Chain A
Amino acid sequence: GAGVSQTPSNKVTEKGKYVELRCDPISGHTALYWYRQSLGQGPEFLIYFQGTGAADDSGLPNDRFFAVRPEGSVSTLKIQRTERGDSAVYLCASSQRPHTGELFFGEGSRLTVL
């Protein structure tokens, strides 16, 4: 399909390891978001890209989290020195009209830190 694609769908890692999560947005969508969803919670904003630049990264919890979108399409969320508290589903969304708030979400990457 032509939806938002996220890989891997599941990732199990050990505490202290480095993790990369990838998001491939809908073609032509200039806006890209990362959200984090913990069990029983709503999605929590992490970062918003407009094109290649991070327009708002106020939701990144600390400097272990970093995201890039070098060519304005695919984005990678990078987590260094993972901690058990990082375990969650990481959701990516894209939009052609971000001012409307109508986002198209992927199925998420479930990260488990042992």
Chain B
Amino acid sequence: AQKVTQAQTEISVVEKEDVTLDCVYETRDTTYYLFWYKQPPSGELVFLIRRNSFDEQNEISGRYSWNFQKSTSSFNFTITASQVVDSAVYFCALKLTGRRGGSNYKLTFGKGTLLTVNP
């Protein structure tokens, strides 16, 4: 079975600080996707990024960057120059891609990290 671990329950930073959210995953499958979702106070999760298990290139999108390291089964998320609007719960998730049937379509989420950015 798959497992996603987000060891940081809560992180509090001051605006403009950089912050990294950790994610470690477990799976015996060799093909999978990794994700980050953001859950603001309104409640709906918002998709941020998807990485394929075959692609370990790091990715940058504006102030966001992601570091995928298969050797350590980690997919960490860094926010540079954090802003108050970044305050939310962030979830890391995993989805298998190599299986047939409905089980190929569900995401397994970590417990989330509550990020608070103070002005």
Contacts and interface: CB of A to CB of B under 8 A. Distances in A.
Interface of A: 3-4, 31, 33, 40-45, 48, 50, 54-56, 58-59, 89, 91, 93, 98-108
Interface residues of B, number: 28
Nearest to B6: A42
A33 B106 contact: yes
A71 B112 CA distance: 34
B43 A107 contact: yes
Given A31-B105, A43-B91, A48-B106, A103 B50 contact: no
A24 B81 CA distance: 37
Contacts of A98: 105
A103 B103 contact: no
A108 B110 CA distance: 18
A55 B44 contact: no
Contact of B50 (A40, A43, A102, A108): A102
A100 B104 contact: no
A4 B44 contact: yes
27 contacts: A3-B44, A4-B44, A31-B105, A33-B106, A41-B112, A42-B93, A42-B110, A42-B112, A43-B91, A45-B107, A45-B108, A50-B102, A55-B102, A55-B105, A56-B103, A56-B106, A58-B102, A58-B103, A99-B104, A101-B93, A103-B47, A105-B45, A105-B46, A107-B42, A107-B43, A107-B44, A108-B43
A104 B109 CA distance: 15
Interface of B: 4, 6, 9, 33, 35, 42-47, 50, 91, 93, 95, 97, 101-112
B34 to A, nearest CB: 9
Nearest to B4: A42
A45 to B, nearest CB: 4
A27 to B, nearest CB: 17
Contacts of A100: 33, 50
Contacts of A107: 42-44
Nearest to B109: A42
A103 B33 contact: no
